[in-house]
Structure formats: structure tokens, C-alpha cells
Structure 1
Amino acid sequence: MQERFEWLEIAEPQTQPRRKATQTPATVMGKRCPQCGWLDEETATQCFRCGYRYNLDHNLAGQIAGLGVTLPPRLIETPQNLENFFRTHGRIRPPEPLEIYRLRNRAEALRLSHGFDRLICLDELDVEHYEHQLETARRALHDMRGRALLADEVGLGKTIEAGIIMKELIRRGLVQTVLVLTPASLTEQWREELSNKFHEEFTIMDHPRQWQEALTAESGRWLASLDRAKLRRHSELILQRDYDLLIVDEAHKLKNRSTLAWKFVNQIRKRYVLMLTATPIQNDLMELYSLITILSPGQLGTVRAFRNHFLEDADKRRPKNAPSLRRLLNDVMIRNRRSKVDVRFPRRRAAIYHLTLSEREWQLYADATDYIRRRFRDVDSDKHLRLTLMTLQKELSSSPQAVAATLRKMVQDRAHGDRARAELQRFLELAESIPVGRKLLAVREILERFPGQFLIFTEYRVTLETIVRQLREWGFSAVGFHGGLSLQQKEATVAAFREGVRVMVSTESGAEGRNLQFCHQLINYDLPWNPMRVEQRIGRLHRLGQVHDVTIFNLSCNETIEAHIIELLARKIRLFELVIGELDLILGNLDGSKSFEDLLREAWASSENEAELRRRMEALGDALERARQDYQRVRMNNEILDQMLDTQG
């Protein structure tokens, strides 16, 4: 196959709001404290934050001193002398313990706050929030008493909204125990966001022993996959205690009241509950009834009454008595839409650079892949060996240097026989003879052709170090960012990138939780077999607050497993035109409990040659197309709900 640079056709998202030609910032009436900078109400006489008194002339003492007048020391007069005071009140008490002081301080803050009209947790958050998110938090707390279905369209920050609500309840002392249930693929992502953005450390619960230890804890932050938590050995322990706050992500998975998942979540004893989904309706309105019942039992009446009063017999997606249903839903559900909120979403451009490996690189890829397939099927290959072989197969699409690093360890491992180690040694010598791979040359071409800063993602640290070293030799300023850096080193690296370094090369683990929106060009140097990680890479740049269109360059070597992956991502899933958050909704429609990565790994492992792999990849592509069509149908169903919510009267 010939090399070519291909720009992908990306349709404008249907939910993209119209852009305003000009936008004047809203005028905020108030006064700013000269001492701490707090923006207060115009009528305030004292700063809410630091106590600074606005109605005093704080320069008066200096003006008097300038006249040569010395003021006497400040005198506090009281009708009761000190002797009588101590006789009445006793001796002066020692300072209160720190915990008592903190408790009194919190009580004073709560006394000063005006219900939930003013959120007191915002200064403690490390997140760029938007007005629709703050309004959602206030409404969920003030009007819905902390029990709400957060049903914003994808990309509007339901996780941020849930985090703000959680933090506000914690800050006010109303929540000590929090349980978060998510899909298995999102547990680590949730843990990361709750830690980095809300400074709440959650424990991912994988074993019943952890739940046993949590039973008597007075406070705790626990996170688990719903599929694992509903299993009997976990659920029996989870259901033995109360929780102050329950958060359920991808709540549409609870659409059926007859499922084990719905029954389990419905039994959890919780004071506050937040359920998150961008698609509250998958098929019909009865699914919405199931979700609301967990939040507020009886809100929509009995099943029979709900069917008779609100469902059309011919089409259960369309309601009758819409005004009544809308009023009931507004008591428990908040749904922001991209066309309604006043934020700007960046557009995307995406390209694939189809590359042809050099002769040596192709020989290394073909021979090593043949070896991996043979060894993978050997009767003596154990789980550890297969994991190593799978890593080696992925590294073949990354860099010769990453391949060489793994091969060196395999050659030194005496568990491999002499014949196997001889083959591995030949591959190692071949990998070491390739100083600069075709992908690295392609990066130089892109940097020379397109101005501006670039964020480059790779899966492997050895590849990262190779890219940084070579780019510097070519005269490009470059830094590397990975999980092995200390906190100070990470901050310094991001600061250097922000201040003008041309390229930052990063691993997935390195860039977690980082705001890199000052950059708007990304290169996927190698492609993970898990498309969720590709979306997470894009999400570092393509998110609310990005002021430029985001360009994504994908490097793909012809006739490799990577070429199949990019075909699935770009043609079947159409990943690069999705809104952040839609991918998981599509992958959730795949048949069975296996992830996309599992299906991809099985397709590769069960193929004896490239022709068979191609057939299996086509079958996987067909399944992905069906999953995308299912998602489109679900989105249409929710558009019917949106029309009902928008209709007045």
C-alpha cells in the first residue's frame, strides 16, 4: 500500500449550538474587597470572606499621623471591672483543641451561608466549572434535596455536577460516607477525577474483604463497578449499612426493574442519591419510570397509573398529558442541552497519515508477529508469557526501541528454550539496527508542515524517550511527561510546555487529570487497543474551555494490526466526530459482556494469518456499526423527550 495523508470527513455534531458573532460578558454588580479580592454584594458593609469593613476609612490613621498628631492607644471600656469579670466568669480558659476550633469554624461558615443559594465549596475545587453546572448543583440541592437524575447531554459535565454536589454536602458536614457505582471501564477514570478535581480520595472496591472492613467505618469514600457490586458475595455486604450519598453513573443500565442490577441499587439505603445518564430513555418511557422510582418512590404513581395516564398505546416513546409529566419530571430530573447552554464547543479536524514501514521495520514486524502467533498457541505458554507476547505485539506498532527493550528481557529469561532465545536474539539485533523508525520521520514532517505546539501520545515510556531525544537532535524543543516523574517534575514539565516548548510527549498515565487546553494539536503516535483511552487522550485538549479547533493526527503503518484499529475507530465507530462521552454509550451497545479490547485481542489471537485476521476484523467492524446504529436510535428517542420538556402549556 502507498503512503498517503488523509483528512477525515467529520460531520458537524447535530447538537452543536449556533455560534454567536459577539458576546459581551455579563455585568456583575457588586464591590470587590481590597484586602482579599472577594466579590461581594453592592450593599454589603463587611466582606463575607475576611471581615474587611467597607464603611471605614482605612487610611484615616495615616492621614492623622501625617499631621503630626499621635493617637492614644485604643481603649476598650466596660462597665464591669476585670476583678468582677473574673469573679463572674472564672479564670481564663486555655485555647480550644484544634478539632473543636475547626468544628466551630465550620458551624460559623454554615451560619453565614444562605441555604444552598450560595455554594461554599467552590474555592476547594480544582476544576473549571460553568454556570449551567453551578445552577444544576444549586437546583439539585435546594429544590430536589440531594436526590436528582442528572441527565445532561453528553459533553456538558455531569461528572463535574455530581462532584460539586458531593463536595458541597461534604463541606456542610451533611455527608460522611459516599458510594459511587460505575461501569467497570470507568472506575479508574472516576477515581482520578474525584481525586484531582475534588480532592476526595476514593478506594476502588474489588474484594469482599474490603466491604467487610467498611461496614463499621464512620466515614469513607468507596468506588465500585456496578457489575461487581451486584454479585451476591459483594451485595450482601454492601446492603448491610447506610450511605449518606450514592452516585450511580450510566444510570440507563438500570432501565429494567426486573434485573438484578436495578433490584440491588434500589435496596441500597441512601440519604442522598445522584443518578447520571445522557440517555434516560433507551427504548420507551417505562425505563424513565424505573430510574425515577429509585430516586423518589411514588413520584410517578403506580406502574398501571403511569401507563394509563402518560403512555400512548401505539408508541410508548411519546407521552400523553405531557404538561403533567413535565411537572413531575422537573421535580427530580435536570437535563441541560448543548443547544441551550451558553458555552462554546471546539470543532475537530482529524487526519490519518498512512505510512509504509522501511524494509527492516517490515521484516521485524512480520517475523516477530509470526513468532508471537506460534508461541501464543504453544501448550507450554502460560498466562505470563502470553501477556508478554501481547505487549511485544503492541510495541511492534510503536517503535523499534520499545521492541528492543522487551526483547532484551526475554533473551535473558532462562524460561525460554535455546531455540526460542536464538530467534529472539535475531529480532533484537534487527530492532537495534533501526535508529529512526518511519513514524518518527513522519512526526518531523508534521512539525515542519504545521506550526504551533503539539501534544504527542504514546503507550510506552521507551518510545517517549526515543521521540524526545530525536526531536531535540533535530532542533525541536521537546519535553517528556510520564508517571515516573515526581510531582515537582511534572509541574515543571507542564509549565515549560505552557511557556512555549514546542512538543510535549506523554504517556496515558502521565497526563491524567491535566488541563492542557492551551495546546490544540495532538498526534496519536501509537494507538491503544482500548478506544476509551484514545477518547481520553483527545479529551485532554477537546473540552469545554478550548478556544481553538482541535486537530488530531493519527499515525498508522500499512498492513499492521494498527491499520485495522484505525479503520475501526475512524470508519466504523467514527470516533473523531463524536462528542466526548458518546463512545462509551456506543461501546455499551456491543453484544455480550466483553469489552472492545477483549474482542480485538480474541480476533488477533485466534487468527492464524493476516487473511483470517482481516475477516475477523470485518466481523468486529460490522458489530461496531450495529452498536453505533443502536446509539443513534437511542439518541432519537431522547430527542422526543427533549421536545416534550421544551413544550410549554
Structure 2
Amino acid sequence: MSTSFHSQYFAYELTKQSSSNSVGRLSQSLINATVDLNPHQVEAALFAFRSPLERGAILADEVGLGKTIEAGLVISQLWAERKRNILIIVPPPLRKQWNRELIEKFYIPSIILENKNYNEYVNNGNVNPFFQRDHVVICSYQFARNKARDIQGTPWDVIIIDEAHRMRNVYKKSNKIARILREATKGAPKILLTATPLQNSLMELYGLISFIDPHLFGDETTFRKQFGHGTKELSKYDFLDLKHRIKPVCHRTLRRQVTEYVPYTKRIPIVQEFFSSALEWELYEKVSTYLQRDDIMALPKSQRSLMTLVVRKILASSSFAVSDTLLSLIKRLEKLIDDGFTEEDVTLDISGDVDEFDETMEEWEEDESTNSDNNSDLIKGVNLQKLLQEKEELFSYYRLAQSITENEKGKALLIALSKGFEKLSELGANKKAVIFTESRRTQQYLKEMLEQNGYAGQIVMFNGMNNSPEVTEIYHNWLEKHKDGDQITGSKTADTRAALVEHFRENASIMIATESAAEGINLQFCSLVVNYDLPWNPQRIEQRIGRCHRYGQKHDVVVINFLNRKNQADQRVFELLSQKFCLFEGVFGSSDEVLGSLESGVDFEKRIQQIYQTCRSSDEIQDAFNQLQSELEEQIQCKMQETRKSLLENFDDEVREKLRVHYEQTSLQMNKLERYLWGLSIFEGQREALFDPETLSFNLVRNNERYQMISQIKKKSQEDGAHHYRLGHPLAEKWIERAKSRSLTTKEVIFRYSDYEGRVSILSSLIGKEGWLSLDLLQVDSIEKEEYLVFSCIDQEGNQLEEDICEKMFILPGDEGNEIVCPNGTTKTLVDLFEHQKSAILNEINERANEFLESELEKLDKWSQDLKNKLEVELKELDQRITQLQKESRLTRVLAQKLEMNKEVRELEKKRNEMRRSLYDEQDEIDRQKEQLFVEVEKKIKQDIEQRHIFTIRWRIV
């Protein structure tokens, strides 16, 4: 049995804030996470805190190493420290994924902010909806750009930018989104996540670092002059200088460095070929040719490119899907003919079959916005006869589509599933397949077709609506099953998704899913991905496969793709996606280098769309794809690969040794914290709950609710209906606060070694001995806030006992004795011991502060020197220009030219004199700015010290 002294000590250990040079800095997030953490993730999170976090860091681990988890650890730790103004900016497809990862892995609630709920907040009186007290805010790049003023006006504790390579060209004036976001997030600590921080130019590295720390380099011009030509032209001094400067803010780990901890499975590609029937091909050709015309009226000009893309996706999906789409276009023309037309209606009609349409529109919107026209312009001058002809033309296509009763591609799916399941059997994997289609109508067709061919009762549907009677029944059954557990979030959308995934795992063989399942769900129990319809955006394909081929997947993942051998353009697209983007085979994340070369998959998607729209003959298609492939090869063949390697990567042995140390420290820290939380809970909850040490669980007496330690859940031994008990749980927080607020008088505590199940050799020699022990809390607020629990302890002979002995005493069961008074002489000895240890701690903090100060001073010196050098270089270049002009003037025999040159020389000499006069003033201004920055650094390292006595005991070990 523990004592109140055990409980109070455990409470302070569980909540103390350690320095960022130890794993303890992440103590709260480590014990709160439901994910098995790998040492490289802990190292990356610690790096972010060491940076220091007032500015931030670039986490550039290769794909597949869990950068989301690394950022999640940082967020979780800040959350535990009540620093909760947190913003995550991501590409639209990743918003739900972040939302689910935060709640499932770290129990942190988040809200996806978009136009609809933003406006609702404003209408309800919330002037700045980005300010959410108890929710992390997630939004897209485009939304963040549009609401830059709100972001700038919020005091952020940290901003996470995912897929940050999209920001690396911020130095280019054309990259408006990146420039707006850099300004909007200025001054806030940031973590940038990207697998490829450097692709084509060192200027990209400058661009990303300018988000983190504007004083690491002078400015864009000075960086370009010194480093912008690539490492081959750099001197050894400049290269080492560059590496030294970026080291504190950029962290990168490679897959090969972590194979000891992270097992990888492969992707096995299967191509399922099919040939469209004569009627299907006729339909495809006719609709495709129709879409290529510039004069069609069934699609609004304001969104012509995007809407054409949507129709093409549906056309390639199935005749059943395009049939209804053609009907929607016909209705638009009828409205246009009858009573005028509002363009919003057609967007809803056509996009109603395609999930994630809003996200796609958001990513396409920049290019589309310049092409908008209003309804009156659209109707003005329209030839009624032409509208009637177009309507009749679409009717003929509609009738053709209606006449097709089966699809060759659908038949091929039966063959593909048979092949896929056979391969899964060879691999020893579950007989599970997720089939992705672009269309909800195709999804329904596939369900009916598969049910008629032996798969009845084995299918679950997943789409953006999730409102069918079958889904509703699955949802209600799930609610009933988990009514006493923690799985229910209260969000019907989120809970329905969770219910469908669980149903697929436990009761179905096939999930037929639209694009909405490509993000935010975990299907690692499934090893067969079928791309029935293949997107043109490679990043979306990676998202799909990543639902199954992810960390935790135990088997190789089979990826089946469909290929229409009649369609030459489709074949070339597949060739690019397969051979150039390496999406379908290899080890986990093999597409890292290639996908990172794209700022946005939408750009690639637009290029493909352009080819489909403009190329008619076979030769035109081949030439256009050859040109695109040539451009891609240049883009993908990373010019800066060697540079990135030498600049950003550390030696494998050096990394592995550091990871090994972190692995050991993390395991020890988590075991210790778990022991403290369990011990505290037993003591503080002894009147409220019944505890079961075998399963690390307990039942509350008042309502019989069951709770289980999160470590057991991570070991996959969760009991049905048990709540997840963790450090951040309200019940744990209540018990911890009770323990910390208790006022303890000095007592005798008898530690019973004889009742301890195990052996602690360091304590066995103390059996029969006794002495005095004092515990104090030392808080130091300097570069970062740190807390130390300081033991001062002596035995009956007055010998000092080390800190680790004192810690281990509290793993023994104990009994509290009577109140006693500590003799004055002993009290003085304990105080002296505390002061001695306090001095040692402060000296260590001073050493770190000095290192930080020296580093900051060096950085500021280099920054100011960069700017000064820029002025002197400009002056030197002006001198050279004047000398060159004077030389040319002397050589010319044409009087008019000579006069003009001399006039230019006088103007340049005038400018040079002004520059010389202002040079020292500008250099003084740079020094003034440097001094101001130094004063800010000085404030950071000033120590604010507090100490609090916690308790004193007389100890005895029996």
C-alpha cells in the first residue's frame, strides 16, 4: 500500500516540466499517446523543442516515418501544459486525417475550419473563429490565405504546416499563397513538415527557413549571392557555414537508419487489363469529343476546366454514372432555354456523384477565378437553335448510355478480386479488399454486381454521404456496442466512419469506397487496394494506398489498377504514375522523392486534363505525353539530391546510436510514469474505485464504469467497454490535483522492502537502516521553463544518499507512522544539501544558457555581416560598372555615344557618392537592429527562480 507521500511525489513527477535535452520533456505526451512511439519520432519532437520552440523547426524525415506523430507529440505536450492556441495548415485532402489522428492517437479535439462553419461562428458573435479555447484548429492552405488577417491576430502557441515543400518557393514573387502565409504567421513558433525541403535550388531551403527564423540569413539577395548557385560552386568554407547555420532548425532521418525499429512491407502491383465494348467505346469517344469543344453551353464557363474534369472522371468510371451526369447537363440546357439559369445549381447537380468535390474545387479555384462570367453574359447572344441542337446531341448520348446494360470493366473486377484474394492467401493476409471508385453511382453498380456474383453479405459501402439504410443500421449497432466506452465522439460523421471501418474489419470482406475514404481512416488490417478508377493526381493515389500500406501493416500490400487497352491516353497516364511516380511497387513510401518534387498534384492533374482536352489524334496524344514525361524526368531527377544528402543528413552510425539511447530512455520514462500514475490512482481513488492490478484496470463504485490503463490498450488487450485511462483523463487530473494540493506534516514512513515483489539491489543494503528525507520543487524559467524535484536525504550516520536511491524508495510499499518533529540540526543539514544541489542545477542551466547565447550571438553576427556585405558588394559592383563605362567611352569615336556614356557615368558617380555617404549610416542601423535582437535574447536567458518545499519524512526500510 502506498502513502500520501508516495502519491504526492508521484503527482509532481507526472506533471513536472523537464528541459528539452531529456526525454522527460515529452513525459506528458508519451504517457498520453495511444501509439507505439519509435525513438526517431521522440528525437524529432525533442529537436523541435530544442530549436527552441519560440521560433520552430523543419522536420524533414523521409515519407513513412511518421512526421504527423512527431508533430502530434509536440502538440500533445503543449496541450498538457495548457498551451492550446494551436493551428495546423494542410492541403485540403489531409484535414480529416489530422482531425482523426489527433483524437485517436492523442485524445486532442480539433475543429476543421472552413467557410461554412467560419461564417456560422461570425454570425454567432465570434469575431475571430480561429480563436478556439479547447480545440486545435485545422484549415487548408487556401482558407488560411483567405483568412490571413485572422491568423495574424491570434497569439499562437505553435503553427504546424504540413506538406511544407509547397512553401519552399516563397522567395518567388509569383508564389502568392506562400508569401501571404509567411507574413500571416510571422512571429509565431512554427513546425514545417516535409520529406523534401530541397529539390531544385538552395533558394528553396532559404525559403523554408525564412518561415522559421528571418535572422538566420541576411536577406534573399545576400543568400543568393553567397549560396544560391548550388554546392558545386560553393567554397568549402561557405558550404560548412551553410550546414552549420541550418543545423539548429532542420532535422532529417532516413528510412534506412530506423530499420531496427520500423518494419517495412512491400507493395505488389497487379494490372487488370480490359477492353471497352463497342458501345462503351462509342459512348466514350462521342462524349470526349463533345467535351473538347469550346462552344458547349451545358457546362458553365466560370468553372469549365474543373467541371470538364469531373465529367471525364465520371465518364471513365462507368456508363451508369455518366448516364445520370448527361441527364444533369440536359436539365441545365432546359433551364437555360426556359427561364434563365443560376450557375450554382449545375455545380450541385454534376458534383453530386463525386465525393471531395469541394476540396478539389478549393484547390482549383485560383485558376478558375479569372475565367468567371455572370449569368447575363452567358445568356446574351445565345442562339436558341444551337441550344436545342446541343440538348438533342446530349439526349442521343444519354440514350446510348442507357442502352448499355453491363460494363467490361465491371466484369474485369471479378477477375481482379479473384487474383487479389489468391495473392493475399499466399501472403497469409486477411481476405479483405478496399475498392476505390470516383463515383457514388458506380459504387452502387459495383455493390449490386458483386452481390449477384458470390459476394452477398460481404460488402460495406463508404462514401461522403454515408446515409443509406445499411449504413444507418451499422452506425446504430456500433453506438449500442460502444455505449459504455470512449470510442463515441459525439460527431455523427466521425462515429459513422469509425463504425464502417469496424464493420469492415469484423464482418465484411470488401469495402467499396469513394474518395472520402482515402483520408482519415486506418485500414492497416486490409492488404488489397483496388483502384477501380484511377485519379490523375498522384498525391491522391498515395493517400488511397496509404490507408492500408502504413506503419503497423504486417503484410505486403497488393495494389490492383485497371487499364483500358483501347484508350491510348489512359495507358500513358498509367505509365507516368507507375514508372515515373513509382506509386505501385517497392517499399513503404517509395514515392517520397518523386511526390516531393511536385508542389501540388493538382498541377499535374491540370496538365493531364489539358492533354485530354486538346489532343485528338494518336500522334498528338503521344507527342503531348512525351513532352510531359520529359519535363517530369527533369523535375523528378532531383538536381539537388547530393546537396540535400551532404547538407541535411547525418552519418547512419551517429543517428543509430542516438536513437538507441532514446529508445532506452523512452522505455524507462514510460514505465516509470505508468507506475507513478497507477500508484497515485490506487491511493487517491481507494474510496472511489476497485482496482485490478492484473489488468491495470478499475471500476468506479458509484456507477461501475470500467477504466483501463492506456498501456494495456496499446498492447491490444483492451477490455470491451473500458474507458481509456491516461494522464490527461479528467479523473486522473482530479486525483493528481488532489495529491498536489494536500498539505503534509512531517511523519515517519516505513518502506517495506520485504513486501516488494522483485529485487532492488541498491536498497537491499539499506534494510534495517533509517534517516531523514526532504523533497523540494525547484522551478527555473529561463530559455525554457524547467522543474526539478530535488531529494535531500541522509541516513542515521549523516551520510548523504544519492537521488536515484531516494527515487527507488518510493517504488516500495509503505506505511505512514506518527507525526514527528525534525531536529534543527538535521533540518539545517537537509537545507544545505538542497542548496548544494540547487547550485549544481543552476550551473548546468547556466552552461546551456551560455551555449544558447553564444549560438544566438554568432547567428546575429552572421546575419548583420550578411547585410553589411550586401551593401559593400553593391558599392563594388557600381565601381566596376563606372570603370567599364569610362573605358568604353574612351574607345568610342561616335560623339553622341560618348556624351551619353559620360552622362551615365556622372549619374552613377553621383549614386556611388550617395551610397558611400549612406553606407555607414545603414551599417549603424544594422548594428542597432542587432543590438535590439540581442536585448531580446538577453531577456530570454534571464533566470526567474522559485522553490517550494513539498514534504519531509523520517524514513525506515524494513
**Contact 1:152–1:336 (8 Å) recurs in 2:** yes
Aligned equivalent of 2:250: 333
1:481-496 superposed matches below 5 A = 481-485=462-466, 489-496=496-503
Aligned partner (choices 526, 532, 540) of residue 519 of structure 1: 526
Displacement of 1:357 in angstroms is 0.8
Aligned equivalent of 2:61: 152
Aligned partner (choices 49, 65, 74) of residue 141 of structure 1: 49
**Contact 1:110–1:172 (8 Å) recurs in 2:** no
Q: 1:621 to 1:185 in 2, by over 3 A?
A: farther
Structure 1 residue 247 corresponds to structure 2 residue 132: no
Deviations 1:325-377 (A, max 9, x none): 77765543332221111201211121222211112212222222233334x53
Structure holding more helix per residue: 2
Instruction: Measure the CA separation in 2 of the matches of 1:585 and 1:570.
Output: 14
Instruction: Measure the CA separation in 2 of the matches of 1:282 and 1:427.
Output: 46
Aligned partner (choices 627, 636, 640) of residue 634 of structure 1: 640
**Contact 1:150–1:334 (8 Å) recurs in 2:** yes
1:548-587 superposed matches below 5 A = 548-560=555-567, 561-577=569-585, 586=594
Q: 1:384 to 1:444 in 2, by over 3 A?
A: farther
Q: 1:156 to 1:320 in 2, by over 3 A?
A: farther
One-letter amino acid matched to 1:445: I
Structure 1 residue 615 corresponds to structure 2 residue 529: no
Aligned partner (choices 456, 461, 467) of residue 480 of structure 1: 461
Aligned equivalent of 1:203: 113
1:43-122 superposed matches below 5 A = 111=15, 116-121=24-29
Displacement of 1:238 in angstroms is 4.5
Displacement of 1:553 in angstroms is 0.8
Aligned equivalent of 1:275: 192
Q: 1:317 to 1:287 in 2, by over 3 A?
A: farther
Aligned partner (choices 86, 89, 95) of residue 178 of structure 1: 86
Aligned partner (choices 361, 385, 394) of residue 424 of structure 1: 394
Displacement of 1:206 in angstroms is 11
Instruction: Measure the CA separation in 1 of the matches of 2:180 and 2:198.
Output: 19
Instruction: Measure the CA separation in 2 of the matches of 1:572 and 1:564.
Output: 11
One-letter amino acid matched to 1:402: A
Displacement of 1:531 in angstroms is 2.1
TM-score by length of 2: 0.49
Secondary structure of the structure 1 residue equivalent to 2:323: helix
Q: 1:517 to 1:642 in 2, by over 3 A?
A: same
Aligned partner (choices 605, 617, 638) of residue 613 of structure 2: 605
Aligned equivalent of 2:378: none
Q: Give RMSD over aligned pairs.
A: 4.6
Instruction: Measure the CA separation in 2 of the matches of 1:490 and 1:236.
Output: 34
Structure 1 residue 539 corresponds to structure 2 residue 546: yes
Aligned equivalent of 1:295: 212
Secondary structure of the structure 2 residue equivalent to 1:559: coil
Instruction: Measure the CA separation in 1 of the matches of 2:308 and 2:208.
Output: 44
Aligned equivalent of 1:265: 182
Unmatched tracts of structure 2, length 5 or more: 338-386, 423-430, 467-471, 479-495, 655-958
Aligned equivalent of 2:328: 409
Secondary structure of the structure 2 residue equivalent to 1:474: helix
Instruction: Measure the CA separation in 2 of the matches of 1:593 and 1:553.
Output: 21
Which range is displaced more, 363-372 or 535-544?
363-372
Instruction: Measure the CA separation in 2 of the matches of 1:332 and 1:535.
Output: 28
Aligned partner (choices 450, 455, 467) of residue 471 of structure 1: 450
Q: 1:640 to 1:330 in 2, by over 3 A?
A: closer
Structure 1 residue 395 corresponds to structure 2 residue 314: yes
Instruction: Measure the CA separation in 2 of the matches of 1:418 and 1:302.
Output: 61
Displacement of 1:570 in angstroms is 1.7
Aligned equivalent of 1:69: none
Displacement of 1:123 in angstroms is 6.5
Secondary structure of the structure 1 residue equivalent to 2:157: strand
Aligned partner (choices 443, 447, 456) of residue 417 of structure 2: 447
Deviations 1:452-473 (A, max 9, x none): 3211100111111111111111
Structure 1 residue 214 corresponds to structure 2 residue 128: yes
How many aligned residue pairs are there? 547
**Contact 1:283–1:317 (8 Å) recurs in 2:** no
**Contact 1:256–1:262 (8 Å) recurs in 2:** no
Secondary structure of the structure 1 residue equivalent to 2:637: helix
Instruction: Measure the CA separation in 1 of the matches of 2:138 and 2:186.
Output: 16
Structure 1 residue 378 corresponds to structure 2 residue 296: yes
Secondary structure of the structure 1 residue equivalent to 2:503: helix
Which range is displaced more, 548-557 or 597-606?
597-606
Q: 1:384 to 1:128 in 2, by over 3 A?
A: farther
Instruction: Measure the CA separation in 2 of the matches of 1:516 and 1:480.
Output: 14
Aligned partner (choices 279, 289, 305) of residue 360 of structure 1: 279
Q: 1:359 to 1:125 in 2, by over 3 A?
A: farther
Instruction: Measure the CA separation in 1 of the matches of 2:600 and 2:511.
Output: 39
Q: 1:128 to 1:266 in 2, by over 3 A?
A: farther
Displacement of 1:281 in angstroms is 3.7
Displacement of 1:436 in angstroms is 2.5
Secondary structure of the structure 1 residue equivalent to 2:271: strand
Instruction: Measure the CA separation in 1 of the matches of 2:230 and 2:291.
Output: 58
Instruction: Measure the CA separation in 2 of the matches of 1:470 and 1:600.
Output: 31
**Contact 1:527–1:562 (8 Å) recurs in 2:** no
**Contact 1:180–1:246 (8 Å) recurs in 2:** yes
Identical pairs, percent: 31
One-letter amino acid matched to 1:399: S
Displacement of 1:241 in angstroms is 5.0
Aligned equivalent of 1:38: none
**Contact 2:130–2:150 (8 Å) recurs in 1:** no
Which range is displaced more, 498-507 or 122-131?
122-131
Deviations 1:547-595 (A, max 9, x none): 1111111001123343332122123333324777775864665699971
Which range is displaced more, 518-527 or 634-643?
634-643
**Contact 1:255–1:262 (8 Å) recurs in 2:** no
**Contact 2:94–2:520 (8 Å) recurs in 1:** no
Secondary structure of the structure 2 residue equivalent to 1:475: helix
Instruction: Measure the CA separation in 2 of the matches of 1:340 and 1:403.
Output: 49
Instruction: Measure the CA separation in 1 of the matches of 2:130 and 2:314.
Output: 46
Q: 1:177 to 1:318 in 2, by over 3 A?
A: farther
Instruction: Measure the CA separation in 1 of the matches of 2:307 and 2:91.
Output: 27
Structure 1 residue 436 corresponds to structure 2 residue 406: yes
**Contact 1:528–1:534 (8 Å) recurs in 2:** yes
Which range is displaced more, 395-404 or 574-583?
574-583
**Contact 1:194–1:201 (8 Å) recurs in 2:** no
Secondary structure of the structure 2 residue equivalent to 1:551: strand
Q: 1:512 to 1:426 in 2, by over 3 A?
A: same
Instruction: Measure the CA separation in 2 of the matches of 1:524 and 1:372.
Output: 25
Instruction: Measure the CA separation in 1 of the matches of 2:443 and 2:288.
Output: 23
Displacement of 1:178 in angstroms is 2.7
Aligned equivalent of 1:101: none
Aligned equivalent of 2:382: none
TM-score by length of 1: 0.70
**Contact 2:26–2:77 (8 Å) recurs in 1:** no
**Contact 1:204–1:222 (8 Å) recurs in 2:** no
One-letter amino acid matched to 1:247: I
Secondary structure of the structure 2 residue equivalent to 1:357: coil
**Contact 2:112–2:138 (8 Å) recurs in 1:** yes
